[in-house]
Amino acid sequence: MPLNMSLEEQIGQVLVAGFPGPTPSPEIIDLIQRHHVGNIILFSRNIQNAQQLRRLTSELQRIAREAGHRHPLLIGIDQENGSVRRLGSDATIFPGNMALGAIGSEQMAYKIASAGGHELLELGVNLNFAPVVDVNNNPANPVIGNRSFGEDPQQVARLGSSAVKGWQDAGVIACLKHFPGHGDTAVDSHLALPILPYALQRLEEVELVPFQSGIAAGAAMIMSAHISFPAITHDEALPATLSPAILRGLLRDQLGFKGVIISDCLEMKAISEGVGIARGSVLALLAGIDLVLISHLYERQRAGINAIKAALDSGELPHELLQQAVERVIQLKQRYLSWEDQTPPQAHLQWVGNVAHQQLSEQAYALSTTLVRNQQGLIPLQLQSKQRLAIVYPVKQAWTEVADRKLAIDDLVQQVQQRHANVSVHPFKVQSDDLQDLLNQVREADIVLAITVNANLDPQQTALMQALVQSGQPVIGLAVHNPYDLIAFPQLGTYLASYEYTPPALTAAVHVIFGEREAQGHLPVSLPGIS
């Protein structure tokens, strides 16, 4: 047995578990103490502010150490930046991947990741489930979109590799995701199993390019995707997470990856409504997964542990396979973690949200804003004091399964009102509001600033934008998430992309709209049918 570990300790080292609340729950304490679970995932539900997070990670490590764990816990988080981030507003808000793709600078991608890594490590988070290196070449992709650096495999490879080096040079383990590529899907694997119908040659030319580059850059971890690739597996119902041909054959043997392979969360419906979570835990390890991720429910985490133990007892899961997975996890911990390096919870925070990081972030956002079209010369916006500006924006509970932040519309309105007093604001409830009623409200405005969020995937927003364009009023379109919205209303003559609806991204867009800065970003994706 590796490092003289009991069977229970070994099983605990290959499980990653999440829990609710800002303090260690009785369930997570039980998993760490009795079941030797060695790895934790945190979400926004666990985080109130920086000081509380620092206390939480310290407390989790203390529980593990006192329970006799030989190595510290891996504590991971999805801090992709941009739309998908878990830290609160006291940490620096950095631009996400597509905004960095609009800048196109490897140096900037490195600096942002390095700065973010220093903040995470100071908060006791030693693993970041980032960067996303999916090549987003499908405008209808409902789950990746602006989480990707763009549609060019070479650019995604360059920026992804720079981000890997940035995170890991700061001492945080980086994780390439979602292998072998989630960029060309029109289905969200949180909700169903996407199928990619391509031959291996196409994967080698597109999807695999950034993974090869990230491996060469030293990425310590790769996350699998719950996506079907029948050209490799010969089975449409088999997700990559459960496929030996993809994980052992393609990733280990062909691409030569020697690090840790983690599954995406087994509670996503592509697995939970397929083979199920308990069975999925066993099949994942058999396929070549080293870390089985079960993010939410204690019963499911226990079921996964029990299923793995039963499969070992029956001989279905060879002990040797489990040992190999444990050895890879322990080697990773030995490289990045030690009990001596655990920062005390009362330590002063010198990295989190510091002035240098705020300045870096502002600089990056200023470089990313992209003016896609300005056919009528509406930007820079020059209004007389009597002229009326109407702001229209969509209201919806959540935009994707992973983006956990709301549209910061109040920030945007406030910024606009500081520059022009005569402003009216018109929320548009995407599912329910009467379109004609809204059009009547804004008819008297001299110009309309229309905010859109993934409008190309939303018939109601599309109908609203088409009606505004046809009304003949001057309209500035501001896409604050994916930049593909213009595809749905190609007649719009003025169109700006901020790539995300974080407060600093919206601030940067306002600077451009009012002519205080020139837009410097370049679209990292193409808009089919748009000149």
Let me know if 400 is exposed, middle or buried by CB neighbors in 10 A (0-12, 13-18, 19+).
Answer: buried
Question: What are the backbone angles phi and psi of residue 112, rounded to the nearest 5°?
Answer: -65, -45
Pairing relation of β-strands 221-224 and 15-17? Answer: unpaired
In this structure, are residues 183 and 136 in contact, taking their beta carbons and an 8 Å threshold? yes
Catalytic residue among 190, 296, 420, 426: 190
Residue type, 49: N
| Closest CA relative to residue 275, chosen from 237, 221, 223 | 237
In this structure, are residues 157 and 214 in contact, taking their beta carbons and an 8 Å threshold? yes
Three-state SS for 423? strand
Return d(Cα 116, Cα 351) in angstroms, integer: 9
In this structure, are residues 264 and 279 in contact, taking their beta carbons and an 8 Å threshold? no
Return d(Cα 315, Cα 282) in angstroms, integer: 12
Q: What is the DSSP letter of 72?
A: P
Return d(Cα 196, Cα 246) in angstroms, integer: 13
Known catalytic membership, residue 420:
no
| Closest CA relative to residue 19, chosen from 309, 302, 410, 346 | 302
Which H or E run contains 75? strand 74-77
Known catalytic membership, residue 264:
yes
In this structure, are residues 422 and 386 in contact, taking their beta carbons and an 8 Å threshold? yes
Let me know if 463 is exposed, middle or buried by CB neighbors in 10 A (0-12, 13-18, 19+).
Answer: middle
Catalytic residue among 78, 264, 290, 485: 264
Return d(Cα 228, Cα 235) in angstroms, integer: 8
Q: How many CA atoms lie within 13 A of 222 on its CB side?
A: 37
Q: Which pairs with CB-CB distance under 8 Å and at least 24 residues apart come from 436-444?
A: 438/392, 438/464, 439/464, 439/467, 439/468, 439/471, 441/390, 442/390, 442/392, 442/468, 442/473, 443/471, 443/473, 444/388
Structure tokens at 500: 């995300």
Rg (CA), the chain: 24
Q: CA distances (Å), 318 to each of 127, 257, 303, 304, 359, in order? A: 28, 22, 19, 16, 52
What's the CA dihedral at 35, 36, 39, 41 to 10 degrees?
30
Residue type, 355: V
Helix 355-368 with 503-513: angle, nearest 10 deg: 50
Three-state SS for 169? helix
Q: Is 267 left (phi over 0), alpha (psi -120 to 50) or beta?
A: alpha
What's the CA dihedral at 2, 5, 11, 17 to 10 degrees?
-110
Report the catalytic residues: 190, 264
